[in-house]
Amino acid sequence: MQDAATAHGLAIEIRERPKANSLAEAAELLGILPSGIVKTLVVKRADDTYLFALIPGGRSISWPKLRAVVGVNKLRLPEPELALAATGYERGTIVPIGSSTEWPIFADESIVGRRIAMGAGSHGYSLFVEADDLIAAYGATVADISVPETTRD
């Protein structure tokens, strides 16, 4: 992953961290707010190609918004084995940097201008990067593609 970041002129910081059982716990371990952790979600299109959706903690994909931005009427989260085959990373570690295929990236507009933490390709690590640098390095599309997560009682 470091080689891929360097090839894209991207400065990243990788930190080792203990396993976290929740977003709040991961944020506490990293000393940041939960919204500072960005999930990289692999999304499968009907034509069997993929894209990455970068969604901040505490939010989830807005499927209608993402479909509209991508210009398709069908998207879904793939099974774990398909996500691994598409990216080379296991769920929970996925990051667009160093993915086995450079799928298009769609970043939620709320991450713009922020330093973010995300998966680092291996369990027990987090990657820190300036969101604007990541967006520029990979030509990501920035749009409103998320909604606040609903709380479960």
What average pLDDT does the structure give for the chain?
A: 94
pLDDT band, residue 20 (cuts 50/70/90): confident
- Secondary structure, 3-state, the chain: CHHHHHHCCCCCEEEECCCCCCHHHHHHHHCCCHHHEEEEEEEEECCCCEEEEEEECCEEECHHHHHHHHCCCCEECCCHHHHHHHHCCCCCCCCCCCCCCCCCEEEEHHHCCCEEEEECCCCCEEEEEEHHHHHHHHCCEEECCEEECCCCC
Mean pLDDT calculated for residue range 112-129? 95
Answer with the residue of higher pLDDT: 151 or 142: 142
Mean pLDDT calculated for residue range 32-52? 96
Asked whether the predicted pLDDT for residue 108 surpasses 80, the reply is yes
Asked whether the predicted pLDDT for residue 152 surpasses 60, the reply is no
